[in-house]
Chains A and B, each alone.
Chain A
Amino acid sequence: MKGRLEDMAVADLIQHNCQDRKTARVQFKNGGQKGELFFKNGNVVHASMGNLSGEDAVYQLVTWEQGTFDLSPDVESPTITVTRNWTSLLLEAARLTDETSEEREAQKEAERTAGLTRGEDERFVEIIQEFSVATPQQLVEQLSSKIEGHRVTCVTQIRGGNLYWYSSSPVELEELVEQVNQFVKMVNTAAVRLKAGKIQDNLLITETDYLLVYFLGKEDFYLLVAADKTKANLGTLRHLARVYGDRMLSALKLEGVLV
């Protein structure tokens, strides 16, 4: 009897031959590979496939899903390499097949996970680069790039000295900081007299610009952002100043500017 493994699986052949208590030889071909099984009175007694023989050969043959088989009845086996009964043999073959499938799936999953991990790592690195590891100057530049109509961003101190700054348009920075410092001092005075608690920010809206001072809460440091009123979004400006203000505080501590 001849047939295709696509029509009858190796496991089915074993089952049928053993249930019928046959003595036979079945030869398999799958591409360039060859193998054979011998049955004796309803049990598998020998198997070979390439360099393999015995149970290992059975387990390999069972995995073949393509190829042909040729059954020759009443052919005696030249040797005995398999002693396990056929049911146990098929159960073990099934277990090994499942295990291999699981390993394959696990490997695929591992590859997928590895891919994801790499992706997340890259995103994590981007986040780290953008925020955590960023220097105050980098934060100033990042913040500036996110504001429509940006004019100038500056981290300074009321007592004087602009520490970090970035300007998108020509500006007399020294003059700007000096004038804003005077203004901030007056705002601070008002806050103290009014027992206003901790100042968060002060936004001055002029005919043409927004001038936002975000207080960093330590040693009179503040973040100053100026933007064109016709282009900038006030809500976004406030939000970004808050977000970057908090990160600036951490960056200044890392730089040793703030204790």
Chain B
Amino acid sequence: MSDDLKTLFSEVRADMSDDFIAMDVVGQDGISIAREAVESDFNDQLAAAHFAMVMKLADRLSNNLNMGKAVENQFATDSFVAISRMLGDGSFYWLLVAKAEANIGLLRAVMDQYELRLWGAIPS
């Protein structure tokens, strides 16, 4: 993990409530380049890989339906909520996972706050 991403993740983590489970910055290949997670049964690496496929298909679906590019996907189950948000040109996405009872509005607000900085911190 680059120092910048590590620092930013620490900041994001500090802004999150106890509902936080995990977050990753993930490439289109489904491999995470930065991660932060609490001790839990949740497999964020597996989630990163699956949601990379979900986001790729979402982008194709969106283009096919003339809805522009896919920007974000929110996936809610009775055990967690996962928000995947495209970063920059869409070559990476940010996966944020929280408990099912988490406030989605707050999660998105935190993502709004750090989205550009995270994209800027990805090593090029």
Chain A contacts to B: CB under 8 angstroms: 175-176, 179-180, 182-183, 186-187, 189-191, 193-209, 211, 235
Contacts and interface: CB of A to CB of B under 8 A. Distances in A.
> Which 8 pairs, one residue from A and one from B, show the smallest C-beta to C-beta distance?
A207-B68, A190-B50, A206-B67, A196-B77, A206-B62, A197-B79, A205-B72, A203-B74
Interface string B45-76: 01100110110011001101101111111111
Nearest to A179: B61
B39 interface: no
B43 interface: yes
B76 A202 contact: yes
Contacts of A196: 75, 77, 79-80
Contacts, number: 92
Contact of A200 (B58, B64, B65, B78): B78
Nearest to B47: A194
A201 B76 contact: yes
Given A191-B77, A202-B76, 16 more contacts: A186-B54, A190-B75, A194-B42, A194-B46, A197-B78, A198-B78, A203-B74, A204-B58, A204-B70, A204-B72, A204-B73, A206-B62, A206-B68, A206-B69, A207-B69, A211-B61
Contacts of A199: 75-77
Interface majority SS on A: helix, strand, loop or mixed? mixed
Contacts of A186: 53-54, 57
B50 A200 contact: no
B63 to A, nearest CB: 9
Nearest to B74: A203
Interface of B: 41-43, 46-47, 50-51, 53-54, 57-58, 61-62, 64-65, 67-80, 105
Residue with the highest number of chain B CB atoms closer than 10 Å, among A182, A193, A194: A194
A182 B79 CA distance: 23
Given A190-B51, A206-B71, A176 B65 contact: yes
A197 B74 CA distance: 16
Contact of A208 (B67, B72, B75, B79): B67
Contact of A193 (B50, B58, B67, B75): B50
Contacts of B46: 193-194
A187 B78 contact: no
A63 to B, nearest CB: 68
Contacts of B47: 190, 194
Nearest to B75: A202
B71 A207 contact: yes
B117 to A, nearest CB: 20
A202 B50 contact: no
Nearest to A202: B75
B74 A183 contact: no
B64 A179 contact: yes
Nearest to B83: A203
Contacts of A194: 42-43, 46-47, 50
A187 B69 contact: no
